[in-house]
Amino acid sequence: MGKVRILSAGAAQAVVEPLMAVLNEERHEAVAEFGAVGAMKSRLVEGAAADVIILTAALIDELIASGHVIAGSRADLGRVGTGVAVRKGTPFPDVATIDSLRGNLLAATKIVCPDPATATAGKIVIQALERMGIADQSRPKLQFFPNGYAAMKWLAASHGELEVGITQNTEIKANKGVTYVGPLPDELQMKTIYSAGVCARARDPEAARAFLARLTGPANRPALEAAGYEFDN
């Protein structure tokens, strides 16, 4: 396998980085850039050099339709839900029901999440606040970040009280400085399928396909599950 250049949604960072480390130990170079799905899609469309791109399934399909990703190369990592996090060592809020989540978000001093302008989880947060009827009250508390990883890093380093984070489960579980409280209630949950594809301008399409096979293959299923991906069977 030759050098593989990767553009990836932050939701996949927890599984892409360990695989990159394995490849580099095997003397197969892999480099990656992580960010919100909208930003990564724009990077590819604007001409960034890449062999593999990992986004939501819907965006991968759009890139296939536009000719930026090779048709037939899409490989699914799994489904990811959105959850709530707090800084490690701080009390757990009750988020099991809409009423309990609403009350704890109203009590929160800050709500950190990815930017809804470019990130799937950010859009889900805004929609959830609107459905709970607390969008206006919550707006002054919201603090947006380029992706969920950045939001969780900030939360882990913060010293404020009653601060919560909301982002994709995979971005929460990868950060040891925060604690995963639980998923959003089912009524507010919008699980997203993440997929990868081989870029049309890939320098080495076969190396890219080999990377996807290792990332999404049966041998990597335990790592995907541990990171927060869900599967139908």
**Residue ranges of domains in the chain, CATH in brackets:** 4-79+193-227 (3.40.190.10), 82-183 (3.40.190.10)
* 127-160 confidence digits (pLDDT tens): 999 999 999 999 999 999 999 989 999 999 999 9
12: CB partners within 8 A, 6+ apart:
34, 54, 77, 170, 194, 196
pTM for the model: 0.85
H/E stretch holding 18: helix 13-25
Mean pLDDT, rounded, for 13-38: 88
Backbone torsion region of residue 117, taken as left when φ is above 0, otherwise alpha when ψ lies between -120 and 50, otherwise beta: alpha
How much is the pLDDT for 27? 72
* 81-99 confidence digits (pLDDT tens): 999 999 999 999 999 999 9
- Which residues pair with residue 85 across a beta bridge? 165, 180
Q: 232 pLDDT exceeds 60? A: yes
* 177-195 confidence digits (pLDDT tens): 999 999 999 999 989 999 9
